[in-house]
Amino acid sequence: MSEKYIHKKTLKDKLNSPGMLNILYVPVLILFGTFLIYPFFKGIQVSFTNWDGYSQIFKYVGFQNYKQMFADSDIVTVIYNTIVYGVGSTLFQNIFGLAFALLLCRQTKLNAVGRTFVYLPAIISPLIMGYIWYFIFQYDGGALNDIIKLFSGSQTNLLASTKANVWIITGINSFQFVGVSMVIYLAGLQNIPHDYYEAAEIDGASYWQRFLNITVPMLAPSITVAVVLNLIGGLKLFDVIWSLTNGGPGYSSCSLSTMMYQLYFAKQEAGLAASLGILMFVIITIVSVIALAGFRKREISQ
Amino acid sequence: MRDRNGKLNKILIIVLIIFYAVPFYILTTTSLKKDMDVSSKWKMPSYLYLNSFTNAWSKANLGHAFLNNIIILVISMTALIILGSLAAYPLARNKSRLNKFMYYLFVSAMIVPPLSILVPLYQFYSRIHAMNTFWGITLIHLTFQLPLTIFLYTGFIGTIPRELDEAALIDGCSRFGLFFKILFPLLKPVTATITIVTGVNIWNDYQFSLFFLQKSQVQTITVTLSRFFGEHANYVSWVAAGSLLGSIPMIIIYLFLQKYFISGLSSGAVKG
């Protein structure tokens, strides 16, 4: 029946059909094809070569770049750092983001000022945030060392410490973007009906019981969004590392992003850099899909 | 008991505010000091000295960088809003199988780490002569900000009742005219959110600008500052002054429009 109907349509009707509207996303499709999908597959191709990044000559070397990646102890360190940046930041940002949201959810003036301050760093360039913390952690005349000197009499160079620097950077990234998680949790908290708490209170539930049995399950969708966003952001961390330690000393605070930059521009190893890019893509996809699936399962349907 | 809880909360909030203010306080004191002044960064200088600001402004050529940032921001945002809202309209209104696939394709592009395609993109850009051009960097910003933009627009259009479309169609409006005349004006709140969130990303961008804007005429604030820091690492007060100058426009916009920053972001984020 519908076929007959279509035949009777005039050209003008056809142009006005819902299907015709699809041309509206064609420009976006072309952009993605040109600047995302094409380079991505090209990147896979480059990762199997020994290209240096500028010359015309290169050879296909099979899986050699990938083999080198896992044999090189520096790259193993870098993968470990990347995971610390991703998982560590996610952990901090969600625990503190939820804590800050609970602390600041009431509509008072002081709470509003608190929210303004906690979110403020999120609008500053991460590069500049790195410089600001450099003034605090710097060895000579750093603000933190002034305090340490007061108590111990000597100063320490925390950014040069290969054990501490990864965690310092994780902490700074969390400090900067905890506001985003807080805002997501604030919105989630607003959607929880008040009666639930009142009913629980009448039943004699303690604060912790209410928190664990009402707040956390009702916030599940917000937790999913915040966790996945933080994981993606943390795993591709670049700017703060760049401005604070440059990935050093050695490779001790390098992430996959910063190492790629060094391999490509400083060492002219485009092939290896491209294979690191593919590895980063695989890690981020796997981690975020697992997180998304894992957390979605726990959400209660409303 | 309630009262005591309230007091404890207040103290905690004040501690939190101080903690978040400290880095900005240190940045300010550092930028206001003379180069030879090695007193603690915790102390405000007792004199007024603004030369670091004028030095940073002229030596780093920050004025030019500001202009570049504004040009890139305005072109990118205009294109982003037009392309994003147009693409979201069929995705929200015509949920065929194809369109569902397209929606997931567009949105899942969000997880592609920009640097993972750096090497081929760099090669591609030098071939098409897009290096050191405003259009080149704009196309990259567009590509990487569109997933979030389409996600937010599609979600928002989905909440507008379809009856509105039907009424307009009956009145003889075409499906395309309907979008511009009826729907687009209704998208104001979500457009505000998108402008703010993606605008901050574009304004603060460092990784793309670092690779694709290497000539000094086209450099943005972040690239200029990092180069300045590399050259004058010993003059921390200059770098601090430059960082402060580079952040002030965003801080001012944030303080005036914070209700859009905070409420807008959350409304978009939770609906997904």
Interface membership of A116 toward B (CB under 8 Å): yes
Residue of chain A with shortest Cα separation from B200 = A123
Residues 115-174 of B with CB under 8 A from A: 115-124, 139-140, 142-143, 146, 150, 174
- Whether B58 contacts chain A with CB within 8 A: no
Fold of A64-298: MetI-like fold (1.10.3720)
- pTM value is 0.85
Residues in chain B with CB shorter than 8 Å from the CB of A146 are 40-42
Question: If you average pLDDT over every residue of chain A, what do you get?
Answer: 83
Task: Find, in chain A, the residue whose alpha carbon is nearest to that of B198.
Answer: A123
Q: Decide: B30 and A142 in contact? Cβ < 8 Å.
A: no
Highest mean pLDDT among A88-97, B25-34, B235-244: A88-97
Domain boundaries, given as residue ranges, for chain A: 4-11+15-21+23-46, 64-298
Select from A243, A79, A244, A82 the least CA-distant residue to A157: A244
CA distance A60 to A47: 9
Q: Is the peptide bond before B90 cis (omega within 30 degrees of 0)?
A: no
Task: Quote ipTM for the complex.
Answer: 0.85
B208 CB near a chain A CB, below 8 Å?
no
Q: Which residues of B touch A121 (CB under 8 A)?
A: 20, 23
pLDDT for the residue B158? 84
CATH class of B52-271: mainly alpha
Distance to chain B for A56, nearest Cα, Å: 11
Q: Do A16 and B174 touch (CB under 8 A)?
A: yes
**Residue that is written with structure tokens 């893509």 in the block:** A281
- pLDDT greater than 60 at residue A2: no
How confident is the model over A215-274, as pLDDT tens digits? Answer: 888 888 888 888 988 998 898 888 899 888 887 788 888 898 888 888 887 777 788 888
Look at residue B182 and tell me whether its pLDDT is greater than 80. Answer: yes
Distance from C-alpha of B120 to C-alpha of B98, rounded to nearest angstrom = 29
For chain B, say whether A164 makes contact (Cβ under 8 Å). Answer: no
Residue A110 in contact with partner chain B when CB distance is under 8 A: yes
Q: Which residue, chain included where needed, has tokens 């770098």?
A: B239
For an interface test with B, the pick among A29, A120, A150, A181 (most B C-beta atoms closer than 10 Å) comes out as: A120
The answer to whether B207 contacts A232, with C-beta atoms less than 8 Å apart, is no
> Which residue intervals of chain B bear CATH 1.10.3720.10?
52-271
Report the chain B residue with the minimal C-alpha distance to residue A12: B174
**pLDDT of A72:** 80
> For a pLDDT cut of 90, what percent of chain A falls above it?
17
> B221 — contact with chain A (CB < 8 Å)?
yes
Looking at residue B263, its pLDDT comes to 62
Quick one: what percent of chain B has pLDDT higher than 90? 20
Mean pLDDT for B146-169 is 87
Confidence of residue B139 (pLDDT cuts 50, 70, 90): very high
Q: Distance (Å, rounded) from C-alpha B108 to C-alpha B43?
A: 48
Q: How many residues does chain B have?
A: 272
Q: How confident is the model at residue A60 (pLDDT cuts 50, 70, 90)?
A: confident
